[in-house]
Chains A and B, each alone.
Chain A
Amino acid sequence: MSDMRELLKLLGELDDQLVTCMRCGTCQSVCPVYGQTGREADVARGKIALLEGLAYKMIHDPAGVQDKVNRCLLCGACEASCPSGVKVLDIFLKARTILVGYMGLPPAKKLIFRGMLTHPGLFNSLMEWGARFQGLFTRPASEALGTSCARFATGVLGDRHFPALAKKPLHAIVPSLDTPRGASGLKVAFFPGCMIDKVYPNVGQAVLKILAHHGVGVFLPSGQACCGIPAFSSGDKRSYDRMVDENIARFAGGDFDYLITACATCTTTIKKFWPEYAEQSDQKRRDALDALAAKTMDVNAFLVDVLKVRQDGEAGPRDLTVTVHDSCHLRMSLGITAQPRAVARLNPNVELVEMKDAGACCGCGGSFTLLHYDLAERIGAKKRDNIIASGAQVVTTGCPACMLQITDMLSKAGTRTRVCHPVELYAETLD
């Protein structure tokens, strides 16, 4: 589609949603991006006004509007605080798709989404080669945090401190699993997601260790695809649909009671977006997505609310101070805040200390940090300062993307605060 009339028609279909914004501006009080820039086009009200302006031909620059609509972490803070209940995330995801339909996808994203993420096998091999050769292009930055930074100035990496790609991704360590129900009488499917598979396989291993310990059977099919959110949030609904299809093929027939992820973003995507954005699917596909969504749970919530894991055995010394960062996709999209804390506390050494604004976004926002690193860094700096001020030895969060961003921020500040997932803290205490 490169036809302006078609663009206006599609934006017009969003009109019933756009019109619900009463321009009260409450979103300004919670938006992390606006908090940094103070610019109206960076906050939900401004973006909605721009989409309306475009739809009603009051303005005529789709590229300018697209640029603004993309400057958003999709953290959902505005939606959670909106007095008139505007479905902001829904509007932005659809608008991005519509605008990409008109403007086309940038070449780099086309290569990543259409060339790589929709082909899990190829993606895996490329990343394995990447892991093998990454030392050529990066040098160690922080030994404590295990981060690296670019050896040469590069466009995308900039001066980031990032954890290296794992030498051995999770799918190489545990290619697949199909174990029977044990003492718990339960069986779960495990969806590691790209970040855990390729950067944090240790988190995936911790999950598997805990599940085995509690007698939970595991279904882990090989050849899982990305959950699709990087493509969808970039407006590439076509690639998103293909990734979802790949995953339906892997999971839909499986025998399991719950589908577990340890990634807040994957959980939100599977639980909320998969069924919601299936409007053009046939009944069979919709049923499959509804069924998967109904079974999908965050691992922390599963351990606390379903398995009812409680700390038994002896009380520990409680001498490891841990602070919890509430990932936006856990807190705002799924309402999960108590469970990651409870899981961390399963470790008898852990003493929780709350940081200021634990629920404030870390600034990652998936590909937001790739495209707007300066902003992501400014938002992340606040998070970093609050973590350091808490005095905790460890910061833990139920989202590997947050882990990556927080690790970058802490590493650059030269601190030795450990960054981990709550399940790692618990798994450490199991034999």
Chain B
Amino acid sequence: MNEALKKDFAAIVGQENVMESEADRFSYAYDAAVLEPVMPALVVRPESREALGRVVKLANENGLPLCVRGSGTNLSGGTIPREGGVVVLTNALNNILEINEADLYAVVEPGVITAKFAAAVAARGLFYPPDPGSQAVSTMGGNVAENAGGLRGLKYGVTKDYVMGVDFFDVDGEIVKSGSRTVKCVSGLNLHGLMVGSEGTLGVFEKITLKLVPPPRSQKALMAIFDNVNSASEAVAAIIAAKIVPATLEFMDNFTIRTVEDFAHAGLPVDANALLLIEVDGHAGQVAEEAEQVEAICRKLGARGIHVAKDAAERNKVWEARRAALSALARVCPTTVLEDATVPRSKIPAMMQALGDIAVKYRLKIGTFGHAGDGNLHPTILTDRRNKEEWKRVEDAIDEIFDVALGLGGTLSGEHGIGIAKSKYMEKETSRATILFSRRLKKALDPKGILNPGKIIGE
């Protein structure tokens, strides 16, 4: 990049917020996806929303690929920049602008950290339910751009269910307003809906309006132990059929159970083939009644043991096992590939069977855990990316996992996004026309193709 252009960026964000050394640029060449790093030409960190808009405009005027980055926790390469492009960081735009208790909404800048936002909301007696695994570091802008999910998806939905409005910069740096602070709003095109999950390809978020809800008054957690995956899945289906919607309904397979037990010594049954970790919440009376029903259903469908948490400490212990899942798996091998192919929940037994077959066929270690209630499983492949021969098998296995998921009527990604890692499969899930329609849409909004080019729909 020429010096004059660097000076123009420095004039907008201040020289101290321009990073151009090789070491600085390389530290924005990757995200949490297992993909090759790509060097950007410049990294800028605007400290005001106004400066963010001017960065977008300047990038567009010069036809520079622009990658917006919050905390870089993306699992599909959505924040891997384009060679010669600009990375713009949102982490200095981290103000919660408003929490409105009367009208149950909040307005945030894109760089606000998810967990800090949830805590600020909780301090005011309200609840922001989406809880992606990376919430301690992920940003609200990133959550909206990826339509992040989490453990509470089954009952409370995902990020898109909480986005009431998004104000965003178009490529000319002009602010486009969409949505409202009201529950109902039908003014204009549903542009904020278009922004959710757009992975930085259509606009750059300026501020986001989010729905808040009252928190549940009580919770109860229980752990059910099964000797086979099928009965666990049947239990999941039976719980939903009994008109009970647990806040969380999590699953762990035998490989994950054994790995967690090795790591955390939490007293998990290492010979069990499936664990269900279930939490119901709501009014105390309803919670007690539903917990009893869930317990009865699990027993009827062959749970060989059920542990109901008696107090907060025991409840914590149940969830500790689940929280330890990824950590435990990640320690087994150097490289951890975390997938999130999702199927209708009735297809979980078929999906589990297929994952078992794929592990055998490609001679790989695959631990599976995840959100059984919404069919969003996380088959986690444990490997070493430096072993080229094994890595080829990993890639083939991933292809097959996607084929199976799509064959079962599922989707490529429940919550991690498409990015560059899965864009080649998009046409398989949708259609040629879908891709072309999306590309025409992007071309109209971003004629020079500067906004996170290559992501989701290729080019």
Tell me the A residues contacting B by CB distance below 8 Å.
Answer: 15-16, 19-20, 22-26, 28-29, 38-41, 46, 49-50, 53, 58-61, 64-65, 67-68, 83-85
Contacts and interface: CB of A to CB of B under 8 A. Distances in A.
A187 B30 CA distance: 54
Contact of B27 (A49, A60, A61, A84): A49
A46 B27 contact: yes
B297 to A, nearest CB: 33
A311 B210 CA distance: 53
Nearest to B33: A23
Interface stretch (B168-176, B180-188, B331-339, B359-367): B331-339
Contacts of B137: 25-26, 28-29
30 contacts: A15-B386, A16-B334, A20-B331, A20-B334, A22-B330, A22-B335, A23-B31, A23-B32, A23-B72, A28-B71, A29-B115, A38-B92, A39-B19, A39-B27, A40-B72, A41-B24, A49-B26, A49-B27, A49-B30, A49-B37, A50-B23, A50-B26, A53-B26, A53-B37, A59-B23, A60-B22, A61-B23, A65-B23, A68-B23, A83-B327
B134 interface: yes
A282 B335 CA distance: 35
Interface in B237-270: none
For the residues of B in contact with A, the DSSP-based class is loop
Nearest to B136: A29
Nearest to B115: A29
| Most chain A beta-carbon neighbours within 10 Å: one of B23, B45, B73, B91 | B23
The list of the 10 closest CB pairs from A to B, nearest first, reads: A84-B330, A64-B23, A46-B27, A83-B327, A40-B27, A29-B136, A41-B27, A19-B334, A28-B137, A38-B91
B71 A84 contact: no
Interface of B: 19, 21-24, 26-34, 37, 45, 71-73, 89, 91-92, 113, 115, 134, 136-137, 326-327, 330-331, 334-336, 384-386
B218 to A, nearest CB: 28
A119 B283 CA distance: 70
Nearest to B113: A29
Given A29-B136, A40-B28, 19 more contacts: A15-B386, A19-B384, A23-B32, A24-B32, A25-B134, A28-B137, A29-B115, A39-B24, A49-B37, A50-B26, A53-B26, A61-B22, A64-B21, A65-B23, A67-B23, A68-B23, A68-B27, A83-B326, A83-B327
Contacts of B330: 22, 83-85
A246 B71 CA distance: 46
A350 to B, nearest CB: 30
Contacts of A65: 23
B334 A50 contact: no
A38 B89 contact: yes
Nearest to A53: B26
B137 to A, nearest CB: 5
Contacts of B73: 24-25
A25 B331 contact: no
Contacts of A61: 21-23
Contact of B30 (A23, A67, A68): A23
B26 A59 contact: yes
B26 A25 contact: no
A144 B335 CA distance: 55
Contact of A50 (B27, B31, B336): B27
A19 B27 contact: no
| Most chain A beta-carbon neighbours within 10 Å: one of B31, B45, B331 | B331
